[in-house]
């Protein structure tokens, strides 16, 4: 069985090393699961984040690396059970000159600009916390957002806290630093926002097909990100739940 997995350049979850080797936590996890299910050939397809869902839905590849589960995404593709539970954080210039430690703190600084990858859930988390659209800069690739932080084009790049820690370590603490979001404790409204964002879990996605059509799977009560495992059932690839 051959399986094609789409991934994006986003250490530590997936990236291309010098020489062309594809590696990362999500890549390794998917390979272990797929080999156990009988996959004999695994191919990887580098793409942009904005193409992950469209590509798997259209059948250009079989699976995606883990994505955060949202009701909208679950209407398009099938998710596995969660494999990650991860909070957000910022990548900022060394010293964190604007003292940005949460979406709320950035929203209060009208001179602060936030970088987000197109289509990622951090956009909704930011706007729900009061960050205005004119404060947000959208990027197609992580490398462009990082360069914008370094050059001063934006003040912070929002992604997972663990991913930003690795980026800061690789780039060097004298240039950039990772800031894990500070919990908001004052007021029930902020508690509700925190619960809405929470920590997300992550997983691989694929369309589930029945009689040549996509069967929609929904998980409306979670904002998790899941690994979609794949196996054969009645000649079809299925997700393990």
- DSSP conformational letter for 133: G
Which tokens sit at 49? Answer: 């984040």
**The domain defined by 88-197 carries CATH number 3.40.190.10:** yes
Which residues, 6 or more positions from 224, have their beta carbon under 8 angstroms from its beta carbon?
68, 69, 79, 82, 84, 85, 200, 201, 202, 203
**The domain defined by 2-84+200-239 carries CATH number 3.40.190.10:** yes
d(CA 241, CA 226): 10
Helix (H, G, I), strand (E, B) or coil at 18: coil
pTM: 0.71
d(CA 180, CA 212): 44
What is the Cβ-side half-sphere exposure of residue 4, based on CA atoms within 13 angstroms? 11
- Domain range list for the chain: 2-84+200-239, 88-197
Tell me, yes or no, if the two domains 2-84+200-239 and 88-197 fold the same way.
yes
What is the per-residue pLDDT across 192-232, written as a single tens digit (0 to 9) for each? 343 333 344 455 566 544 322 222 333 322 345 554 433 22
What is the per-residue pLDDT across 123-154, written as a single tens digit (0 to 9) for each? 999 999 999 999 999 999 999 999 999 999 99
């Amino acid at each position: 069985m051959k399986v094609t997995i789409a991934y994006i350049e986003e250490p530590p979850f997936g990236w291309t090393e010098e020489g062309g080797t594809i590696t990362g936590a999500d890549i390794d996890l998917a390979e272990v699961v797929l080999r156990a299910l009988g996959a004999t050939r695994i191919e990887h397809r580098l793409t942009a984040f904005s193409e992950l869902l469209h590509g798997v839905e259209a059948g250009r590849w079989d699976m995606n690396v883990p994505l955060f589960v949202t009701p909208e995404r679950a209407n398009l593709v099938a998710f596995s059970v969660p494999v990650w539970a991860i909070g957000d954080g910022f990548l900022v210039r060394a010293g964190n000159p604007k003292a940005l430690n949460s979406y709320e703190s950035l929203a209060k600084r009208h001179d602060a600009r936030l970088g987000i990858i197109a289509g990622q859930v951090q956009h909704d988390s930011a706007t729900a916390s009061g960050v205005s659209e004119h404060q947000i800069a959208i990027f197609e690739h992580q490398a462009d957002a990082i360069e914008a932080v370094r050059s001063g084009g934006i003040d912070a790049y929002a992604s997972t806290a663990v991913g930003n820690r690795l980026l800061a370590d690789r780039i060097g603490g004298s240039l950039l630093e990772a800031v894990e979001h500070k919990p908001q404790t004052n007021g029930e409204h902020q508690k509700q926002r925190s619960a809405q964002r929470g920590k997300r879990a992550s997983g691989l996605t694929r369309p589930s097909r029945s009689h040549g059509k996509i069967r929609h799977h929904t998980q409306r009560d979670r904002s998790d990100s899941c690994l979609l495992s794949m196996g054969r059932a009645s000649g079809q690839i299925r997700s393990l739940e």
